[in-house]
Amino acid sequence: MTRPIRVVVVDDSAMMRRFITDMLQRDPAIQVVGVASNGREAIELVQQLRPDVVTMDVRMPVMDGVATTEHLMAYCPTPILVLTASLASYDVDITFKMLGAGALEVVEKPRGSDPQALEHAARDLVRRVKILSRVKVVTHLRGRRRALNDGSPSPPASLDHQALPPEAPPHPAITPASIPASANASDASLCPVVVIGASTGGPRIIHQIIAGLPRSFPAAVLIVQHIAEGFSDGMAEWLASAGTLPVQIAQEGAPVRPGKALIAPDRRNLLVTHQGTIHLSDAPLLMQRPSIDITMQAIADVYGSRAIGVLLTGMGRDGAYGMLSLYRRNAYTIAQDEASCAISGMPRAAIQLGAVREVLPPTAIAPRLVELVASMGFKVNG
């Protein structure tokens, strides 16, 4: 018989600890092996019990979610699912700092009295815990460096390509009519575009990439991140604090401009027109939305060889066929290396399709993007 997934629940509210425990243990595949009311208790429990997953509150006494996540990822790496009670800017800011410290995903805490909504929340919570239990997390040294500073205790590889399959089916939700066009549009006037797709574990890597791009970066950046509904705005604010590049949620009709990053909004597919403007689609929800495949296919159609595709950590295959569309239009395609991925499913799927020109670790992606855009003839200042 398969061993149950062992979970430690961390929350300063006794009622919420019981609530989350009950939700998780309704599934026989999950066992809550410990509960903690603050970060210090959580660290002791995790070191003692070595659970498969930790659900972590944001605001707690003694040690908050950020300090606790940093310590655990530095000394006892464990998949962490952040549960936040509020989408207020302060709480969301802490939440994304936790993701930057190594937590893998974030979801809003179940609340309310609607039985149907609570049942949906319970299923979603169980699903996320099951996914994260399979993640092999790595040690993050930032917590150790901070501990030392505080005095408290304790090269890119080219890819040998497989032959391209004779035909790769396009995403079923995208057709030529999906993207508004203009008879007066001039594709030659379009700036280069970098399109980044990511899922589980992606926010931290995207943050690292954005932080590594210069203020004068002469390409637009479009980001499709699978994240729980309600957190896109907070992610945009968090990424904007990473460096000098402005980061905003994409709006219908907004121009795609160099030196600016746009994020796909909640439950909307991010497309581009031949005029170089944003089009947000409410196409029927066939798969994940926002879809990385749909955005990359749209970029391939409009920008061709002026595009660069980057596919980061995540489970499943979203983005693989999008990368293939880019590859076939002579765009440059980069996949995150498996060793640094929280879940390598998405990059691996693109590699297996023969759609990836280069495999890179996160630290090498931003410098490579600068090199590639410069090679297109667009000047990059420091």
**Tens-binned pLDDT, residue by residue, of the chain (382 aa):** 589 999 999 999 999 999 999 999 999 999 999 999 999 999 999 999 999 999 999 999 999 999 999 999 999 999 999 999 877 777 888 999 999 999 999 999 888 778 888 899 999 999 999 999 999 888 876 655 555 555 554 433 444 433 344 344 444 444 434 444 433 334 546 899 999 999 999 999 999 999 999 999 999 999 999 999 889 999 999 999 988 899 999 999 999 999 999 999 999 999 999 999 999 998 765 567 899 999 999 999 999 999 999 999 999 999 999 999 999 999 999 999 999 999 999 999 999 999 999 999 999 999 999 999 999 988 877 6
Residue 322 lies in a domain: yes
Residue 301 lies in a domain: yes
For residue 260, what are the domain limits? 157-375
What pLDDT, in 10s, does the model give residues 82-131?
999 877 777 888 999 999 999 999 999 888 778 888 899 999 999 999 99
Q: Omega into 290 within 30° of 0, i.e. cis?
A: yes
Residue 280 lies in a domain: yes
Same domain? For 192 and 131 the reply is no
Same domain? For 138 and 207 the reply is no
Q: What is the pLDDT of residue 325?
A: 97
- DSSP secondary structure of 72-86: HHHHS---EEEEES-
Residue 199 designated active-site: yes
Instruction: From 206, 236, 201, 223, select the one nearest 73 (Cα to Cα).
Output: 201
Packing angle, helices 89-100 and 202-211, rounded to 10: 90
Residue 381 lies in a domain: no
Q: What is the pLDDT of residue 159?
A: 47
Same domain? For 191 and 129 the reply is no
For 346, residues 6+ apart whose C-beta sits below 8 A from its C-beta are 197, 198, 199, 292, 311, 312, 313, 314, 315, 316, 317, 318, 319, 320
Residue 294 lies in a domain: yes
Same domain? For 86 and 142 the reply is yes
Q: What is the pLDDT of residue 156?
A: 39
Question: How far is residue 52's CA from residue 144's CA, in Å, rounded to a whole number?
Answer: 22
Same domain? For 230 and 326 the reply is yes
Please give the tally of structural domains in the chain.
2
Q: Which CATH number goes with the domain that contains 306? A: 3.40.50.180
For 82, residues 6+ apart whose C-beta sits below 8 A from its C-beta are 56, 58, 65, 69, 95, 98, 99, 103, 105, 106, 107
Same domain? For 212 and 63 the reply is no
Which residue's entry shows tokens 């932080």?
211
Same domain? For 225 and 370 the reply is yes
Residue 213 lies in a domain: yes
Q: What is the pLDDT of residue 289?
A: 84
What are the phi and psi torsion angles at 192 (to 5°)? Answer: -65, 155
Catalytic residue chosen out of the listed positions 11, 133, 140, 199: 199
Residue 71 designated active-site: no
Question: Is the distance from CB of 21 to CB of 47 less than 8 angstroms?
Answer: no
Same domain? For 260 and 310 the reply is yes
Same domain? For 219 and 275 the reply is yes
| Amino acid, res. 298 | A
Four-point Cα dihedral 45, 46, 50, 53, nearest 10: 120
Last residue of a domain, one of 85, 117, 148: 148
Last residue of a domain, one of 82, 117, 148: 148
Same domain? For 109 and 213 the reply is no
Q: What is the pLDDT of residue 88?
A: 75
Same domain? For 167 and 291 the reply is yes
Q: What is the pLDDT of residue 92?
A: 85
Residue 22 designated active-site: no
Q: Which CATH number goes with the domain that contains 136? A: 3.40.50.2300
What are the phi and psi torsion angles at 278 (to 5°)? Answer: -80, 140
> What global pTM score does this model have?
0.86
For 129, residues 6+ apart whose C-beta sits below 8 A from its C-beta are 5, 7, 24, 30, 53, 55, 81
- DSSP secondary structure of 273-336: -TTSBEEEE----SS-SS-HHHHHHHHHHHHGGGEEEEE-S-SSSTTHHHHHHHHHTT-EEEEE
Catalytic residue chosen out of the listed positions 226, 281, 291, 344: 226
Residue 178 lies in a domain: yes
Q: What is the pLDDT of residue 153?
A: 47
Last residue of a domain, one of 105, 128, 148: 148
Catalytic residue chosen out of the listed positions 52, 318, 337, 344: 318
Packing angle, helices 89-100 and 232-240, rounded to 10: 70
Residue 382 lies in a domain: no
Same domain? For 140 and 164 the reply is no
